[in-house]
Amino acid sequence: MLDRGWDCVDIVFVTGDAYVDHPSFATALLARLLESEGLRVGVLAQPDWRSAEPWTTFGQPRLAFCVSAGNMDSMINHYTANRKVRNEDAYSPGGQIGLRPDRATLAYCQRSREAYPGCVVIAGGVEASLRRLAHYDYWSDKIKRSMVLDSKADLLVYGMGEKPLLEILHRLRNGESIETIRDVRGTAYRLKKSEDLPEETNTTVHLPSLEEVEADKSQFAKMTRMIYENLNPYLGITLVQENDLEAVVVNPPSLPMETVELDRLYALPFTRLPHPAYGDKKIPAFEMIKHSICTHRGCFGGCTFCALTAHQGKDIQSRSVESVVHEAAGIAADKQRTADGGRVLPNDSVARNSAVSISDLGGPTANMYALGCKNETLKKSCRRLSCLSPTQCPHLATDHSALIELMQAVRKIEGINKVFIASGIRTDLALCDTRYVAELTEYHTGGYIKTAPEHTDPTVLELMNKPPIENHEQFCTLFETINRQPAKGDRSVVPGVTNARSVVPYLMAGFPGTTLAMTIEAAVYLKRHGLRSDQVQEFTPGPFELATCMYYTGLNPITGQPVYVPFRLRERRLQKALLMYHDPNSYHDVKSALREAGREDLIGTGQDCLIAPYPPKSDAMRRTSRVKRLQIKNETDKKKKEERRTMFAEQLRQEEFERQEKLRAERLEKLRAERSERSYSGRPHSKRSSSNRPHSKRSSSGRPDSSGSFKRTAKRPFKKGVRKGPRPGGGKPFSR
Ligand code: SF4
């Protein structure tokens, strides 16, 4: 602040992520945007939430604290689908866990209030956005009320925050009070007990209250359906939900950003680096995306296990080709700079090893760039959740020309040697334009292409809003056909990928509606089609998803039909193992699943058999070596324990010995002192001092030695039963 000559800041962003100045990190994007608007911005990244002290770092912000849990919901960030603590936080330096609290938005808002009571607090980010109304919280297995109420934030910004946040801050800067800013799109606020509820009209919808959705699961399903039906920002619907005596009002979603607005946003001066305070500590999420480029926002796929449509919207907001090319050229130039120790080289002298690969050119779904509804009028009144499911809407534009042009433009940039498309591809959409599949196969895959059929069963796919598996088959056939043709472009293979030019499907286990029998059939399908997934995701019920509603209520919120839910962790584990039947680690779980389902016919050596009758050698060897390792470890532990015990006993013995010695020494010392005291004070020296005694008396018990002194001789041993010490009553020291 001193360097910049600031006496205070206007905004303090509080975030649960490490600070990385890259457009893929929401805090960086918003902070740069506000900075470009002339606001002074401070960022508190991963502050210690146990006290309010870190909140005073920048002093009281002039306008507001803007609080976010980070790029992910903090509970998903902390816990696995089995509610176990994750080993790593991808958004923290060194992947360190525990740098943000559970439900971070609540803790951060509370600390902001504690530090500066009366200061404006605005909550935002994915966590707040997806918890803006009553929702099911998987980790506590409870219905939770809106975060607007729990956080006591003045406003909650949901969805993509640029437009709403700018408007709120401009109005605050112009002296408007936060209490009067209640008409901003993309925000939610709390209605106090004393305030009247807005009337139900064409544009104001009352949702079932919190008490109703808590008491009745069908009401929860109804609420979910109503929320999803009113997501279209052009409908302009305000949602109201009562909660006890208070209420939450959710204004209509923010309107999509125009291409020019997005271009301006991504042209801001990002350093594309983590904050220097992190030193050498790597931030895993940054390592993954540092050379990636986001081309667009939004998704019209409407997959029910993904809340992206509820956050970013169904409208695709795309950047221009020029803007993306400019960013890619910037990445290439940065690489050249670092390759030559900071000096920019002329293009013709760029060393080959300074060329850069773009790790991803995409968005939520890679092949939705510049696509969308052809009919502007229909688009503004459309309430469909997906433009692709259950059937493809005839009004959807599916021409991938703009995307192909973009891909060609980026890979032509000097200093870029490869451009990968790593974002998910919607295969049913890709099949509408085979030129895209050809372009993708020729130039943009690294040895394999990842697709996301998620399952093979038609019922499950319908519940997921995914295309039928036949669609995926067609895509694979097309991909293989193109691969068989002579290569026109760069079909290089990523180092380390051995199974060149293949399709790797992403699958999901434990999704509502999936039974063990369906998963067995899915595994058989995968085997017949030579497909192997290296990653099977277990369904995690995140807040606000349609699938979470199915999980909690056992009902499909769209149709109201009952849905089977695999609740038990064991069943979900078996489903996961079945989808990875080829993995030796899954052998025993697959065997249990097949036995449980009465499908022992799939254990054997037949064509459709999923596993052999006996564990694979590698598995047996692995198990044996594991047992051996455990045995050795146990023995070593036992030995170490024994050694420790012996050492401890020896130490105790030694200590006891020393203690006894010390006591004896003290006793002796005391005794000597008593004797000496008695001899000097009790009797005349002439009688006590042996040196003063007459020799005639000493000579009877000893003889003088050569030096002239007297000592006891061995000739007169002590008689048995005769006291050696002084007699009681102060008798002579030796008996005679
Ligand atoms: S009309 Fe069709 S293409 Fe247009 S938004 Fe609705 S579903 Fe999508």
Beta carbons of 43 and 20 less than 8 angstroms apart: no
Report the C-alpha gap between 420 and 439 in whole angstroms. Answer: 11
pLDDT beyond 70 at 548: yes
Q: Residues 445-477, buried b or exposed e (16+ Cβ, 10 A)?
A: bbbbbbbbbbbbbeebbbbbbbbbbebbbbbbe
Least confident window among 335-344, 512-521, 702-711:
702-711
Domain finish residue from 156, 190, 224: 190
* 287 and 409 in a common domain: yes
CA–centroid distance, residue 308 to ligand 1 (Å): 17
Same domain, 36 and 159: yes
Q: Exposed, middle or buried, 613 (CB in 10 Å: 0-12/13-18/19+)?
A: exposed
164 and 270 co-located in one domain: no
- Total domains, the chain: 2
Give 221-284 as a 3 state SS string: HHHHHHHHHCCCHHHCCEEEEEECCEEEEECCCCCCCCHHHHHHHHCCCCCCCECHHHCCCCCH
Nearest CA to ligand 1 atom 8: 387
Cα–Cα distance measured from residue 241 to residue 108, given in angstroms and rounded to the nearest whole number: 24
**CA–centroid distance, residue 395 to ligand 1 (Å):** 6
- What is the number of alpha carbons within 13 Å of residue 460 lying toward its C-beta? 24
Among 160-164, 349-353, 518-522, the range scoring the smallest mean pLDDT is 349-353
CATH of the domain at 68: 3.40.50.2300
Q: Which residue has the higher pLDDT, 651 or 439?
A: 439
| Cβ-contact 365, 430 below 8 angstroms | no
Ligand 1 pocket: which of 396, 398, 432, 465 to mutate (most atoms <8 Å of CB)? Answer: 396
Q: How many CB atoms lie within 10 A of CB 594?
A: 23
pLDDT in tens, 372-407: 999 999 999 999 989 998 899 999 999 999 999 999
Burial class for 672, CB neighbours closer than 10 Å (0-12, 13-18, 19+): exposed
Domain end among 478, 502, 526: 526
For the ranges 402-411, 551-560, 691-700, which has the lowest average pLDDT? 691-700
Cα–Cα dist 304/310, whole Å: 10
For the chain, how many residues are written? 736
Lowest mean pLDDT among 242-246, 410-414, 626-630, 665-669: 626-630
Same domain, 183 and 297: no
pLDDT at 69: 95
pLDDT bin (cut points 50, 70, 90) of residue 531 is confident
pLDDT in tens, 57-91: 999 999 999 999 999 999 999 998 888 899 889 99
User: Residue 344: is its pLDDT beyond 70?
Assistant: no
pLDDT of residue 322 exceeding 90 = yes
Condensed to tens digits (0 to 9), the pLDDT of residues 204-229 reads 999 999 999 999 999 999 999 999 99
Residues 6+ apart with CB under 8 A from 229: 383, 385
Q: What is the Å distance from ligand 1's center to 377 Cα?
A: 10
Q: Which residue has the higher pLDDT, 689 or 267?
A: 267
Average pLDDT value for the chain: 86
Give CA separation, 270 vs 69, 273, 274, in Å. Answer: 21, 8, 10
Task: Decide if 724 is inside a domain.
Answer: no
Nearest ligand 1 atom to the CA of 397 is 3
CA–CA distances in Å: residue 602 to residues 230, 304, 578, 581, 592: 47, 32, 11, 11, 12
Model confidence at 182: pLDDT above 50? yes
* Cα(258) to centroid(ligand 1), Å: 19
CA distance 688 to 418: 108
User: Is the domain of 430 the same as that of 317?
Assistant: yes
What pLDDT sits at residue 342?
Answer: 45
Instruction: Name which residue leads in pLDDT, 674 or 348.
Output: 674
Q: Does residue 480 or residue 160 have the better pLDDT?
A: 160
In a shared domain, residues 185 and 37: yes
pLDDT at 646: 83
470 shares a domain with 348: yes
Cα separation, 460 vs 471, whole angstroms? 15
Domain-located, residue 305 = yes
Helix (H) or strand (E) segment spanning residue 366: none
> What number does the ligand 1 atom closest to the CA of 382 have?
6
Instruction: Compute the distance between CA of residue 389 and CA of residue 381 in angstroms, rounded to an integer.
Output: 18
Residue 67's pLDDT is what? 96
Q: 396 has which bridge partners?
A: 373
Examine residue 689 and state whether it is found in any structural domain, yes or no. no
CATH assignment of the domain containing 459: 3.80.30.20
Last residue of a domain, one of 506, 526, 546: 526
Q: Using 50, 70 and 90 to split pLDDT, how confident is the model at 625?
A: low
Domain membership flag for residue 393:
yes
Work out whether the CA dihedral 363, 367, 373, 374 comes out positive or negative.
Answer: positive
In this prediction, residue 698 carries a pLDDT of 44
Amino acid 718: pLDDT: 47
pLDDT band of 629, cuts 50, 70, 90: confident
pLDDT bucket at 269, cuts 50 / 70 / 90 = very high
pLDDT over 80 (residue 30): yes
| Cross-strand pairs, 250 | 188, 239
Atom of ligand 1 nearest to the CA of 372: 3
pLDDT (0 to 100) of residue 111: 95
Comparing CA positions, the residue from 184, 169, 302, 303 lying closest to residue 253 is 184
Are 338 and 483 part of one and the same domain?
yes
> Per-residue pLDDT averaged across 656-677, rounded?
89
- Return the H-helix or E-strand segment holding 563: none
Q: In this model, does residue 616 exceed pLDDT 90?
A: no
Nearest alpha carbon, ligand 1 atom 5: 379
Question: Ligand 1: which atom is nearest the Cα of residue 386?
Answer: 7
Using the atom order of ligand 1, give the atom closest to the CA of residue 395. Answer: 3
pLDDT score at 486: 65
Q: Please, what sign has the CA dihedral across residues 227, 228, 233, 236?
A: negative
Range of the domain at 68: 11-190
Task: Tokens 């998910």: give the residue.
Answer: 424
Given a cut of 90, whether residue 462 has pLDDT beyond it is yes
Task: Please compute the mean of the pLDDT values over residues 38-62 and round it to a whole number.
Answer: 94
Residue 341 pLDDT exceeds 60: no
- Exposure pattern of 558-590 as b/e (b: 16+ CB <10 Å)? beeeebebbeeeebbbbbbbbbbbbbbebbebb
SS3 per-residue string spanning 303-322: CCCCCHHHHHCCCCEECCHH
* Closest of 400, 423, 275, 262 to residue 327, by C-alpha: 262
Say how many C-beta atoms besides its own lie within 10 A of residue 262's C-beta. Answer: 21
180 inside domain:
yes
Tell which one of 373, 399, 429, 432 to mutate to probe ligand 1, the residue whose CB is within 8 A of the most ligand atoms.
Answer: 373
Residues with CB under 6 A from ligand 1: 300, 373, 375, 378-379, 382, 384, 387, 393, 395-396
State how far the Cα of 692 lies from the Cα of 698, in Å rounded to an integer: 10
Say whether pTM exceeds 0.85.
no
2 vs 258: which has the higher pLDDT: 258
Residue to mutate (ligand 1; options 385, 395, 432; most atoms within 8 A of CB): 395
Distance 285 CA to ligand 1 centre (A): 34
- Residue 29 alpha carbon to ligand 1 centre in Å: 30
Do 144 and 277 lie in a common domain? no
Question: Distance, CA 256 to ligand 1 centroid (Å)?
Answer: 15
Nearest CA owner, ligand 1 atom 6? 382
Sign of CA dihedral 402, 406, 412, 413: positive
Residue 540 lies in a domain: no
Q: Would residue 442 count as lying in a domain?
A: yes
Confidence grade of residue 637 (pLDDT, cut at 50, 70, 90): confident
DSSP 8-state code for residue 23: T
Q: What's the mean pLDDT in 339-368?
A: 67
Residue 488 pLDDT > 90: no
What is the 407 CA–ligand 1 centroid distance (Å)? Answer: 26
Residue 487 and residue 384 share a domain: yes
Instruction: Kindly give the distance from the C-alpha atom of residue 23 to the centroid of ligand 1, in angstroms, as a whole number.
Output: 29
Map residue 499 onto helix, strand or coil: coil
At residue 461, the 3 state secondary structure works out as helix
Q: Which residues pair with 293 in a beta bridge?
A: 361
Return the closest-CA partner of residue 537 out of 650, 401, 399, 424. Answer: 424
Mean pLDDT of 353-358: 77
Nearest CA to ligand 1 atom 7: 387
The rounded radius of gyration (Å) of the Cα atoms in the chain is 39
Question: 506 CA to middle of ligand 1, Å?
Answer: 27
**Whether residue 57 is found in the same domain as residue 163:** yes
Question: Does residue 216 belong to any structural domain of this protein?
Answer: no
- State the closest ligand 1 atom to the C-alpha of 300, by its place in the atom list counted from 1: 8
**Same domain assignment for residues 151 and 16:** yes
